[in-house]
Amino acid sequence: MNAKGASPLPAALDLVLRILVGVLINIVLKILCVYAGCQVLLRKLLGLQDPGAPRPVAVAVPWDAAPRAPQSEAGARCAGGSDDGQLSSDEDVIADITADDGGAEAGAKLLLPKGAASAAGPGPTRLVQAAHIPVDAVAGADSDAWRLVGPYLRQYGSGALSSSTLWNPEFLHFFVPGLGSQPYVIGRAYNRTIVVGVGDPLAAREHWLALASGFRRAFPIATFAHVGADFGRLLRDELGYGVNDMGAETNIRVQAYAYGKKTRTIKNAVRDAKAGGVAVRELTAAELTPEVCDQLAHVTGDWVKQKAVGDSMLRVFIRHLDYENLHLAEGVRLFVAERTVPDADAQPGRTADDAAAGGGAAKAAGRKVVEGFVLVDPLWRGGEVYGYVTSLNRMRQGSHHGTLKLLYDEVMSAAKREGKEVLTFGFSPFFNLQLTPFMGALWVEAAGRFLFEFGNTLYQFKNLAFSKARYGGSVEGDAYKDPNVTMTHVYGATNTRLLDIGMLDLYVLLMYVGFFGNLDDTLFKMAGLRKSMGNSFSEEPAGAIKGAAAGGGGDE
């Protein structure tokens, strides 16, 4: 990997290449927008259903199906603490969604792909109507989404985004009682509607195919993002998707990890932050006073000023946090870094460095000001938390440069004390893309590599990857030099092969998650002519399509 933010080409050549490629892509996408507009008009003339409205779907479910610990050696070791006491019975859940199985059978044809009968499990099965459950970020853990999908998350939510799918308001869940859920999002821009399954299903592996095929029958245009290698292989082999590498996650084995020669700069930054008066503590829900929440919000506002993309544009891959309604439940934890400053100087608009300049009495008396924070979500397996993912990190401008590193160090120490296995730093888009084990559309592969090398002005792809990869010492091929830091790739699955309308769909997805803005804004920013991008998804939450959260179909 190149140095932080560096281009492999001279600055002038880099700029020319970005402009030329940007203009070419802009022209192609605008042509595809016109084509997509014609498709929308034709669909309306023919009275065809909106592609973002779910079709009614019934899925074959074993009679005795229920959430249970993963059938693996690792899962068996963690299965002792299952949350059976928190589960609603499958019969109660089904009653909430559909009156009877006969209605489900009458409402949808059961079109199972080859091999799907066995995917539902051996023995007698019943047809169950799938439901589309929206996430209620305000109600949080008291929402219907948590009541229905939560039991499956606690058993199978081992992905870095698994917990986020029940906290972020843009998510919905394709939910089949007895099997589990496929989290997804819906977005619309430039006459295109995208429906994207995000992450592996929250279900036992033997039920993945039944859920994936049911999800595609509900949304024939469905694609997938941020899936693991095993689920990607199923999508390719059983459902015919093309699969491409999307990037990598950096994972630290906390029980064995230690700083070495390659990571001494991190160790020194941690030491210096402590010496500079920065201290880290974990906050409980009771400690989330209005004053603390205001400080957290200000830290985020300060952080965003330094970044290429505003917080309001980012979704799906970035954890949602409402500072006026912050939930610390279901294993979510919040660590804050603070410094003590005089009462007169502890104003949200001032940094601790500003306050410290006021005199040595700062450390004698005063109050604590938040300099940065890290929110971690749990990684679940068999009803127990076996690790954490750093879902959100923020640091105030002017804070000690080692603040975030100290926060990570404290999170790792806490996880180690508690006997957890791993801390993952989450997703680095387009980082260290590999041609194996999947090679889908060549243009998708080329687009990812181009964005990582030349798209840092749009979103700081290299900076993000560098900040995480440095914990592994250095990258050697498809691994880190430190064996206690691993690299896990995640993949995207599409129906496209050639350069077609799928190119516009990919643009809409990248625009949806916040990496891109509107077409011309993105071009100007890539050329260095604009500092910010407009994004049409910003004005309506998640770009969600009305009616998608219901159990049946229908136009918008």
With 60 as the cut, is the pLDDT of residue 242 above it?
Answer: yes
- Which stretch, 43-52, 108-117, 208-217, 316-325, has highest mean pLDDT? 208-217
Which residues pair with residue 227 across a beta bridge?
491
Instruction: Tell me which H or E stretch contains 324.
Output: none
Which residues pair with residue 126 across a beta bridge?
61
- Is 108:57 a contact under the CB 8 Å cutoff? yes
- Is 177:94 a contact under the CB 8 Å cutoff? yes
CA distances 496 to 440, 442, 505, Å, are 8, 10, 10
Residue 448's CB: how many other CB atoms inside 10 A?
22
CA distance 22 to 526: 7
Nearest to residue 48, comparing CAs of 40, 59, 58?
40
Which runs of consecutive H residues, i.e. helices, occur in 57-207? 73-77, 90-97, 101-107, 116-119, 144-156
The tens digit of pLDDT for each residue in 314-344 reads: 889 999 999 988 999 999 999 999 998 876 5
The set of residues, in sequence order, having a beta carbon less than 8 Å from that of 356 and lying 6+ positions away, is 277, 339, 341, 362
Report the chain's mean pLDDT, rounded to a whole number.
Answer: 83
Q: Provide CATH code, domain 255-343+366-420.
A: 3.40.630.30
CA distance 162 to 203: 11
| For residues 52-69, average pLDDT | 84
pLDDT bin (cut points 50, 70, 90) of residue 345 is low
CA distance 165 to 172: 8
- Is 70:138 a contact under the CB 8 Å cutoff? no
With 60 as the cut, is the pLDDT of residue 290 above it?
Answer: yes
Instruction: Tell me which H or E stretch contains 339.
Output: strand 333-341
The tens digit of pLDDT for each residue in 193-223 reads: 999 999 999 999 999 999 999 999 999 999 9
SS3 of 348-385? CCCCHHHHHCCCHHHHCCCEEEEEEEEEEEEEEECCEE
Nearest to residue 488, comparing CAs of 234, 227, 205, 204?
227
pLDDT score for 342 = 75
- Is 373:337 a contact under the CB 8 Å cutoff? yes
CA distance 381 to 309: 34
pLDDT score for 527 = 82
With 60 as the cut, is the pLDDT of residue 548 above it?
Answer: no
- Is 550:46 a contact under the CB 8 Å cutoff? no
Nearest to residue 512, comparing CAs of 211, 184, 150, 48?
184
pLDDT bin (cut points 50, 70, 90) of residue 69 is low
DSSP class of 294: H
Strand ranges inside 171-278, DSSP E? 172-176, 180-189, 192-198, 202-203, 223-227, 242-253
With 60 as the cut, is the pLDDT of residue 365 above it?
Answer: no
Q: What is the DSSP string of 501-534?
A: THHHHHHHHHHHHTS--SHHHHHHHHTTS-S---
The tokens of 456 are what? 């840092």
| For residues 129-139, average pLDDT | 94
Residue 333's CB: how many other CB atoms inside 10 A?
18
The set of residues, in sequence order, having a beta carbon less than 8 Å from that of 163 and lying 6+ positions away, is 153, 157, 330, 331, 332, 377, 378, 380, 389, 391
Higher model confidence: residue 325 or residue 71? 325
Helix axes 229-239, 208-218, angle to 10 degrees: 60
CA distance 84 to 62: 19
- Is 285:329 a contact under the CB 8 Å cutoff? yes
pLDDT score for 356 = 42
| For residues 218-243, average pLDDT | 96
pLDDT score for 344 = 56
- Give the distance from CA 225 to its chain's centroid: 9
pLDDT score for 361 = 40
The set of residues, in sequence order, having a beta carbon less than 8 Å from that of 281 and lying 6+ positions away, is 335, 336, 338
The set of residues, in sequence order, having a beta carbon less than 8 Å from that of 449 and lying 6+ positions away, is 430, 433
In total, the chain counts a number of residues equal to 556
- Give the distance from CA 8 to its chain's centroid: 29
The tens digit of pLDDT for each residue in 246-289 reads: 999 999 999 999 999 999 999 999 999 999 999 999 999 999 99
| For residues 25-43, average pLDDT | 94
pLDDT bin (cut points 50, 70, 90) of residue 533 is confident
384-417 core/surface letters (b: 16 or more CB in 10 A; e: else) = bbbbbbbbbbbbbeebbebbbbbbbbbbbebbbe
Domain range summary for the chain, segments of one domain joined by + = 20-66+124-241+495-527, 255-343+366-420
Instruction: Tell me which H or E stretch contains 393.
Output: strand 384-395
pTM for the whole structure: 0.84
Residue 323's CB: how many other CB atoms inside 10 A?
17
With 70 as the cut, is the pLDDT of residue 94 above it?
Answer: no
Residue 102's CB: how many other CB atoms inside 10 A?
10
With 60 as the cut, is the pLDDT of residue 161 above it?
Answer: yes
